Amino acid sequence: MEKLLAIIIGALLVGIGVNGFLVPHHLLDGGMIGLGLIFHYFLGYPTGLCILVLSIPLYIIAWIYERNYFYHGIHGLILTSFSIDVLDFLRELFFVPIFLGAAIGGILVGVGIGLMLIYETSTGGTDMIAQMLAKRVSINVGWLILFIDGIIVVLGLSVLEWKLFMYSLITIVFVGILTSMTVRVKH
């Protein structure tokens, strides 16, 4: 029951962070959330649905190599994707300057992801891959997520203007730091 509550709260925090603070400024996060946002901004597809579809190949890898992560992560992926799409009405609710949007969005997403990682689940995609890598190397999962997210945001540079790219980097730094801090609280 505790794990389910953590997944629900984590998914809600991610949904609020994405819709309330990142989307209004067209900011990116990294990982599958960032890729889902790119598809949303430029093709109009629902962000959560894109995250779900784009995560399928990574879940196949998890099924083959770490079935435990597949079973534990699928709930987080589904609830987070659902939360992001259901909470899309928040896009019109909060009006904060872009720096605050980047910071608050990053904080909420980072705490949400960290809360799920504490209970060995994730939002899916690259978070799950980071978990699997963290088991094999001695690097904090939050820092691995930060690295992977940085790669995604750099890829987003080709579709973002420079200013949005810089603020998106602020977002992923906050996500990485807050994910790491949240995971450390439990350990």
Per-residue pLDDT reduced to its tens digit, 111-136:
998 898 888 777 767 777 877 888 88
Q: 71, 171, 168: which is closest to 124 by C-alpha?
A: 71
pLDDT confidence of residue 46: 96
CB 151 within 8 A of CB 45: no
Average model confidence (pLDDT) for the chain?
87
pLDDT confidence of residue 153: 75
Asked whether residue 187 carries a pLDDT value surpassing 60, the answer given is no
pLDDT confidence of residue 16: 97
If one counts every other C-beta atom within 10 angstroms of the C-beta of residue 70, the result is: 18
Q: What range defines the domain where residue 162 resides?
A: 2-186
pLDDT confidence of residue 42: 86
Distance, CA of 75 to CA of 122 (rounded, Å): 8
The number of domains in the chain is 1
